[in-house]
Structure 1
Amino acid sequence: MHHHILENELLHLERVIAWASQKPFPPTYWRDRIEHLKSSPQAPMYHKRLDRLSRLVAELSE
């Protein structure tokens, strides 16, 4: 995944998950998207942001 694509995806998820609820997408949907980004070669550069998103999604599940 190219750097700018990963950056755009992170920005999108950071905006959307901050306002997400259980609908229309369940937390598993968001978790899967984050896990997909973690498999990117550039993911280590974004470790803190990905961890923060993972925590936000975990809170949605509660």
Structure 2
Amino acid sequence: MHHHIFESELVHLERVISWASQKPFPATYWRDRVEHLKTSPQAPMYRNRIARLARLVAELNG
């Protein structure tokens, strides 16, 4: 994934996941999106941000 696209996706997820419980998408949708980021070559540079997103998604499951 191109660096700019990766960064845009990461910023988008950081914005919407905090409101995800109010959206029509299930937690599994958000988990899959975060897991996809983990497979990107850029992932090591953003390890902390991705881990934070993963924790937020886990909290959606209650």
Secondary structure of the equivalent of 1:52? Answer: helix
How many residue pairs match? The answer is 62
Instruction: Report the TM-score, using the length of structure 2 for normalisation.
Output: 0.95
1:14 aligns with 2:20: no
Point out the more displaced range, 18-27 or 4-13: 18-27
Instruction: Report matched runs for 1:3-42 at 5 Å.
Output: 3-21=3-21, 23-42=23-42
- Structure 2: 5+ residue runs without aligned partners? none
Secondary structure of the equivalent of 2:59? Answer: helix
- Structure 1: 5+ residue runs without aligned partners? none
Please list the CA deviations of residues 12-57 of structure 1 after superposition, one character each: whole Å capped at 9, or x if unmatched: 0000001110640111000000101100001000000000000000
Aligned residue type for 2:21: S
